[in-house]
Amino acid sequence: MAALVRISSVCHRGVKPLLLRSTTLARPLAGLIKDHDRSCVITAKIHATPSNYAGSGSKAASLHWTSERVLSIILLGMAPVAYYYPGPAIDYSLAAALTLHGHWGLGQVLTDYVHGDLKIKLANASLFVLSAFTFAGLCYFNYSDVGICKAVALLWSK
Amino acid sequence: MALLLRTVARQGLYSSRSQFGVLYRHAVPMGTTAKEEMNKFWAKNTRLNRPMSPHLTIYRWSIPMMMSITHRGTGVGLSAGISAFAIAALVLPGDYPQYLDMIHSWSFGPALITATKFALAFPVAYHTYNGIRHLIWDVGKGFKIPEVYRSGYVVIALSVLTSVALAAI
Determine whether the annotation assigns residue A84 to a binding site. no
pLDDT digit string, tens, across residues B6-57: 554 555 444 444 444 444 445 555 556 787 888 888 888 889 988 766 666 7
Q: Which residue has the higher pLDDT, B164 or B15?
A: B164
Q: Are B31 and A50 in contact (CB under 8 A)?
A: no
CB contact under 8 A, B89 and A44: no
Distance CA B167, CA B119 (A): 9
Q: Are B90 and B139 in contact (CB under 8 A)?
A: no
State the pLDDT at residue B4.
Answer: 52
pLDDT higher than 90, residue B69 = yes
Based on the number of CB atoms within 10 Å of its own CB, is A86 exposed (0-12), middle (13-18) or buried (19 or more)?
A: middle
State the pLDDT at residue A57.
Answer: 64
Q: What's the gap in Å between the CA of A50 and the closest CA on chain B?
A: 5
State the pLDDT at residue B50.
Answer: 80
Going residue by residue through chain A (158 aa), what tens digit of pLDDT does each one get?
444 444 444 444 444 444 444 444 444 444 444 444 444 444 444 444 444 555 556 788 899 999 999 999 999 999 999 999 999 999 999 999 999 999 999 999 999 999 888 999 999 999 999 999 999 999 999 999 999 999 999 999 98
* Residue numbers in B near A154 (CB within 8 A): 96-97, 100
Break chain A into its structural domains and give their ranges: 89-158
State the pLDDT at residue A158.
Answer: 81
Q: What's the gap in Å between the CA of A35 and the closest CA on chain B?
A: 9
Q: Are B127 and B74 in contact (CB under 8 A)?
A: yes
Closest CA to A115 of A65, A52, A49, A48: A52
Nearest chain A Cα to B96, which residue? A145
* Residue numbers in A near B128 (CB within 8 A): 76, 79
User: What is the CATH topology of the domain spanning A89-158?
Assistant: 3 helical TM bundles of succinate and fumarate reductases (1.20.1300)
* Residue numbers in A near B90 (CB within 8 A): 133, 136-137, 140
CB contact under 8 A, A55 and B113: no
Q: Which residue has the higher pLDDT, B111 or A43?
A: B111
Tell me which amino acid residue B81 is.
G
3-state SS assignment for residue A86: coil
CB contact under 8 A, A25 and B132: no
Q: Does B34 touch chain A (CB under 8 A)?
A: yes
CB contact under 8 A, A134 and B83: yes
State the pLDDT at residue B107.
Answer: 84
Would you say the pTM of this structure is higher than 0.80? Answer: no
Q: What's the gap in Å between the CA of A43 and the closest CA on chain B?
A: 10
Closest CA to B167 of B115, B128, B123: B115
State the pLDDT at residue A39.
Answer: 45
State the pLDDT at residue A154.
Answer: 95
State the pLDDT at residue A52.
Answer: 52
In the structure, what pLDDT confidence band is assigned to residue B58 with cuts at 50, 70 and 90? confident
Q: Does B72 touch chain A (CB under 8 A)?
A: yes
pLDDT higher than 90, residue B148 = yes
State the pLDDT at residue B5.
Answer: 54
State the pLDDT at residue B9.
Answer: 53
State the pLDDT at residue A5.
Answer: 42
User: What is the CATH topology of the domain spanning B63-168?
Assistant: 3 helical TM bundles of succinate and fumarate reductases (1.20.1300)
Distance CA B66, CA A28 (A): 56
Q: Are B85 and A140 in contact (CB under 8 A)?
A: no
C-alpha distances (whole Å) from B95 to each of A82, A142, B89, B104 are 21, 11, 8, 15
State the pLDDT at residue B45.
Answer: 83
